[in-house]
Structure 1
Amino acid sequence: MTFARAQLDGPSLLAHVRQWAHELGFSQIGVAGIDLSAAEDGLLQWLSRGFHGEMGYMAAHGLRRARPAELVPGTVSVLTARMDYLPASTPPGWQAVEWDRLCRPHEGVVSLYARGRDYHKVLRGRLQKLAERIAGEVGPFGHRVFTDSAPVLEAELAARSGQGWRGKHTLVIDREAGSLFFLGEIYLDLPLPPTAAATGHCGSCTACMDLCPTGAIVAPGQLDARRCISYLTIEHPGSIAPELRPLMGNRIYGCDDCQLACPWNKFARRSPLPDFEPRGPLVGQTLTILLGWSEQEFLAHTEGSPIRRIGHLRWLRNVAVAAGNALRRQDDAVLRAALARLREHESAMVREHVAWALEQRPPAPQGAAGAPAAPGA
């Protein structure tokens, strides 16, 4: 069926787009309008409080994030897409498995979404194919594809178009799919009909706020990125504040705690795509091994992975923090030796975090009255 642009039947075209998107591995399609003015005040307040940390691009783009037609002139509607990323091989009771990883201090934990192929590449390619499919039906049209790659109010657009509601952790939650999914957008100069927004269903639950290791969710729907472990391990370019390091545990790239805590993720869906299947070197590795990766080994193990973009130096910084936290739980001569080999690293940032890690030791045993135990006690 071919749609003449001059006589575009928006609802009929959208029905076809949903079918094509499903064939490309997307879970849901929605459409949002471009008037996001109601979100501007919240964005400005978030920026004014410095919650964006050192992500200077967020402040630089300012309100363009809330004005799609300024970002891409000619835009009249936004097509939103959701893609589940929980791997098909994920076992039942996966939340308990992931919580257990966090109780193994000598294992480095990478966030679930980052264990497979870089989602930017997966979504961008498939969104572009979807746009080409639309063009094949309506003829050439103005559009631009986004996958967490430009000043876009992604979660706001997703919520307005019915992909889910904004949870108290600020992520989008769907009643039938939880929150373990990626979002992407196509800005269009086609007037597609907006889809209905979803209603919120967090109720009085505060599990995500209560279990955030660093207290980064400062109020419902308000995230201070400067305290968020995902920000600290990925976006933050320099030294991690010493008072935050002990709270990071063994998380070396990203953090899933707020999503593991969310009751709605019992409905998280497995992805039909092989792209998100975990890669062996990134799952279940000891910190000793990860500290020993040369830059060449790091690049080889993270080829095609989102992890590669932080670079080897931030990687060593993150693993050193985790190693220090492990040594605070239980001393380990092998892990100490791996850290010691990095004492003279050319990077001052790496040396700083390695030195901190080497200073960490388990607390001294206490006697019955709270004093240090006597020798041999």
Structure 2
Amino acid sequence: MTATVVAELRARAAFLGFDAFGIAPAAARPDLPEKLRQALAAGWHGDMDWLEETELRRASPGALWPEARSVIMLGMNYGPDHDPLDDLGRPALGNISVYARNRDYHDLIKGRLKDVAGLLARRTGADVKVFVDTAPVMEKPFAEAAGLGWQGKHTVLVSRQFGSWLFLGAIFTSAVLPADAPHEENCGTCTKCLDICPTNAFPAPFRLDARRCLAYLNNEHKGPIPHEFRVPMGNRIFGCDDCLAICPWNKFASRAREAKLQARQELADIPLRDLVQLDDAGFRALFAGSPVKRLGHERFLRNVLIALGNSGLPQDGPLAERHINDSRPLVRGAAVWAFRRLAPAARIAELKLAFFPAETDMDVRAEWTAVVPPGIQGRAG
């Protein structure tokens, strides 16, 4: 009976668009509490305080829900149709991580997970709970335990069939289901994902220090982008795909078959000069249904202005200049940095004289006096 139910669940999941399916015992990873404790003690989570706040519940499925006996892990391919690293060579365009160039996967996957979970509940009478990245669940280790793939040296799940391009969802259940074999680690001696990181965010293989990760800094971080990471940020305005895109296992990956997860090309070809002129309403309209919308207009402009400062296009200096008197200090500070990278020395001196004396925010004042990395700024004009 159980094997028949599992076969039906697999078939239903495939019909709903899931590309990977596996089962692990809820107690499959007794090593996770200590690994999580060590990561938090090292401060690798940055200012993601919610990781500390949920540590006890996050440590194991049983801690989150004592009735959990099995964990069903499902994956959905979101593979791109081109190499995302090519987009870094277009500095005048805003580079958005592949996963955010389409529908927000949380909305898409959760309903389909509920469908599979509902089928399990009807067939077995077991209790079920569904999770998609919004609850304290360690999806990647349990995807490895369920045989979907393995956590690579970049800490992202790697699949033989889909490379580094899988969205994950979990179903906890009180039913005891036959488990799949855990996946062995297959990175070998390869370190490409570590070597390509522009900010050296990996203190060791299989360890990520979020405080140095561009995907964290331009997505989760609430304050100014630290100066040492601004030039490495390049034109990345949301996320960073470098360590995922370089993975050799991607050669076996295919483009997402789910149409709603296929990258929207219009979100890959937008000039920074257009993005920096979006008001809040325009930002919300352009990114409706995309994860980028969760960033909010203020942090979005912060990211776009940093990218604009990295573009090397002096003709865009006036676009940064427009935001020097923005009401939001986070935007003003990024605008000053970008402006000082692009504008002629005489114009920089003129506006510093006009704005610096009246500036009350200490972070923004520091932008006017900081040493700006070599760029366009300072040229005669």
Tell me the TM-score normalised to structure 2 length. 0.88
Q: How does 1:9-28 map to 2 (within 5 A)?
A: 9-28=1-20
Alignment match, 1:305? 290
Q: 2-side partners of 1:126 and 1:216: how far apart?
A: 34
The one-letter code matched in structure 1 to 2:57 is R
Q: 2-side partners of 1:252 and 1:236: how far apart?
A: 13
The one-letter code matched in structure 1 to 2:143 is A
Give the superposed CA RMSD.
1.9
Measured after TM superposition, the shift of residue 146 of structure 1 is 0.7
**8 Å Cα contact 2:201/2:212 also seen in 1:** yes
Q: State the identity %.
A: 41
Kindly tell me the number of residue pairs found equivalent between the two proteins. Answer: 348
Alignment match, 2:58? 65
Alignment match, 2:239? 254
Structure 2 unaligned residues grouped into runs of 5+: 343-372
Residue 32 of structure 2 is aligned to residue 39 of structure 1: yes
Q: How does 1:1-377 map to 2 (within 5 A)?
A: 9-35=1-27, 36-86=29-79, 90=81, 94-95=82-83, 98-139=84-125, 141-326=126-311, 330-333=312-315, 335-361=316-342, 363=374
Alignment match, 2:346? none
**8 Å Cα contact 2:56/2:63 also seen in 1:** no
1:25-46 CA-partner distances (Å, limit 9, x unpaired) = 0011111112232122111111
Measured after TM superposition, the shift of residue 281 of structure 1 is 4.1
Measured after TM superposition, the shift of residue 167 of structure 1 is 0.3
Q: 1-side partners of 2:265 and 2:241: how far apart?
A: 19
Q: 1-side partners of 2:233 and 2:253: how far apart?
A: 25
**8 Å Cα contact 2:318/2:339 also seen in 1:** no
Which contiguous aligned blocks of 4+ residues in structure 1 show a shift greater than 4 angstroms? 361-365
Structure 1 unaligned residues grouped into runs of 5+: 1-8, 366-372
Tell me the TM-score normalised to structure 1 length. 0.89
The verdict on how the C-alpha distance between 1:193 and 1:338 changes in structure 2, with shifts beyond 3 A counting, is: same
Measured after TM superposition, the shift of residue 363 of structure 1 is 4.6
Secondary structure of 2:56 counterpart: helix
1:305-338 CA-partner distances (Å, limit 9, x unpaired) = 1111110001000101111111xxx3321x2121
Q: 1-side partners of 2:257 and 2:130: how far apart?
A: 22
**8 Å Cα contact 1:230/1:254 also seen in 2:** yes
The one-letter code matched in structure 1 to 2:317 is R
